[in-house]
Amino acid sequence: MIAEFSWDQFIFLWEAARWTVLLSVLAFIAGGAAGFVVALMRTSHLQILRTLSAVYIQIIQGTPVLIILFLSFYGLAIYGFKLPPMVAATIAMTIYTSAYLGEIWRGCIEAVPVPQWEASTALAMTRWQQLRYVILPQAVRISLPPTVGFLVQIVKNTSIASIIGLVELTQAGKLVSNATFQPFLVFPIVAAIYFIFCYPLSRFSFALERKFHAHR
């Protein structure tokens, strides 16, 4: 029986979109925290930390998100539990985000001019004090445009979770499309919903970039 694409289906899509938002936010927060650690490791004095984090970044950046997702979904299954798709997806997106944000933030830390390090060293600050009071505040400002830009990537990549069955927006789209036999109507609507989330973020990132450069 072919369902009609009615208001109910439309609401179903939006309800699924909540999972998209939740997954994105979780990935951003957890991945951001991990990414922060990665960035600090990348800019550390200790060679071993720099190397470890560099290797980590290279591995994650050289792997498709989907494979990371499969590994987290099937990987923990070997210990006996069947992981709920949402948990696997969150783990995978967190790992993905930590590597990319780590690399972006490393660049931002390194973009803070060397004289800033020199001046704060001359003022007898410890490395942690330097980071906290002088370097990171400036690095954060530099990092705003690319970080917001990456948030767009996170939202788009949550669509991958549909492949392991999480009913987020894309999977909901597939379900509705299969039920109504109207893919040419449903998927563009799905795309439009993503667009509503992503395009403003994109413009915001662009505006931040402009504002930032205007100051300099």
Give the interface with other proteins as residue ranges (CB under 8 A). 58-59, 61-64, 66-68, 70-71, 74-75, 77-79, 152, 156-160, 162-163, 170, 173-174, 177, 181-184, 187-188, 190-191, 194-195, 198-199, 202
Asked if 178 contacts 170 with a C-beta cutoff of 8 angstroms, the reply is no
Nearest distance from C-beta of residue 162 to other proteins, angstroms: 7
In the complex with other proteins, the residue whose CB is nearer, 133 or 181, is 181
Nearest distance from C-beta of residue 145 to other proteins, angstroms: 15
Nearest distance from C-beta of residue 199 to other proteins, angstroms: 4
Asked if 65 contacts 96 with a C-beta cutoff of 8 angstroms, the reply is yes
Nearest distance from C-beta of residue 41 to other proteins, angstroms: 20
Query: How is residue 3 annotated by DSSP?
Result: P
- CA 151 to CA 38: how far, in whole Å? 18
In the complex with other proteins, the residue whose CB is nearer, 40 or 66, is 66
- CA 94 to CA 65: how far, in whole Å? 11
The residues, ordered by sequence, that sit 6+ positions from 151 with a Cβ below 8 Å of its Cβ are 24, 28, 201
